[in-house]
Chain A
Amino acid sequence: MKGILILLSYLIVGEGISMLINHFVPGNVIGMVLLFASLQAKIVKPESVEKVSEFLTKNMTIMFLPPSIGLIASYKILGNNIVTIVLAIVVSTMLVLAVVGRLMDKLDKTDESNN
């Protein structure tokens, strides 16, 4: 219960700050950064949010389902731009994979590839 309360409190504070900066950055992201910072600074004990956080993040994928079903409502604008959309997803996803993978492979200081 305490964990839920902590998560909700950080969400509320995050949304509040977001409102103050004209929603430049979404409130839940600010809440996430604040929780991370509080845990690092030992303001919040990790054990207090452990259970609820692991439950939520482990079952996160099902939360993607309702927005994905939006497909049945947005198929028209999707259909009209399908080539661009597919191309953008395919090219951009592969570019991010390649750039991040390559760059990090070069910069990796720990030699974990030998483990």
Chain B
Amino acid sequence: MRAIIESEPFILAITVLSFWIGLVINKKWNRPITSPILIAVVILIPILLLLNIDYETYEQNTHLITFLLGPTVVALGYNMHKQFDAIKANLIPILLTVFVGSLVGVLSVMGICLIFKAPIEVMVSMEPKSVTMPIALGISARSGGILSLTAVSVATCGIFGSVIGPWLLDKLKIKSHVAKGLAMGAAAHGVGTGRAMQMGRIEGAVAGMAIGLMGVFTAVIIPVIEAVTQS
């Protein structure tokens, strides 16, 4: 029985099942809080605890899914190419805005962690929290971060950003479709982009572009900040 429970097909099956339930619930009640990933986490964690599957075993048996993150990052280059026309008219403002957004994202996390005297590994784990997961994991690993904390921060940031984003942007009276999409993609990566796609075609395309740009800028900004502060 144990051999079956800890086998790759079984672990992949409960992972896909949890996510699929998340998708079904999200389709039925399409609210930000019914994000498929949030539902999947809430379903899957008790199942793993109940079946006594530790994270190491779980991680090893889901490498088939996590491996795809690498090629998926490369595939984002195709998305950027396809959506490039949507941002061409605004190219320089968009590059500038996402660059500023990336700086704000990293520096605000650093500031709060320094004020609260959090351990350095907590800080570097959270710095790329607005960056899409595979890129964030690479950045965090490079800085000596705790990967699971990065994963949780990125996931939480995505969920929180996609929940609060439309409300906050509305409160700030932001009208431009480009601005809305860019904010969603820059702050809440893939999850925010999923939400932006529901907001509109332009929002979705621009948000997709923002994911890539945010990833590139943050991947460069963090090592530069580290080099400057360490010298």
Q: Residues of A at under 8 Å CB distance from B? A: 4, 7-8, 10-11, 14, 23-29, 31-36, 39-40, 46, 49-50, 52-54, 56-57, 60-74, 77-78, 81, 83-85, 87-105, 107-110, 112-113, 115
Contact = CB atoms under 8 A, between A and B. Distances in A.
Nearest to A32: B77
Contacts of A94: 164, 168, 187
A47 to B, nearest CB: 10
Contacts, number: 329
B176 A23 contact: no
Given A77-B122, A85-B149, A113-B175, 14 more contacts: A11-B74, A26-B219, A28-B135, A36-B80, A36-B84, A49-B78, A64-B154, A64-B190, A73-B148, A85-B153, A100-B186, A103-B97, A107-B96, A109-B90
A49 to B, nearest CB: 5
Q: Main SS of the interface on chain B?
A: helix
A64 B36 CA distance: 11
Given A68-B152, A109-B89, A32 B44 contact: no
Most chain A CB atoms below 10 A, which of B45, B183, B212: B183
A25 to B, nearest CB: 5
22 contacts: A26-B135, A26-B138, A32-B73, A35-B78, A62-B15, A62-B37, A65-B18, A66-B15, A67-B155, A70-B149, A73-B148, A87-B112, A88-B113, A93-B129, A93-B187, A96-B105, A100-B186, A103-B96, A107-B96, A110-B89, A113-B175, A113-B176
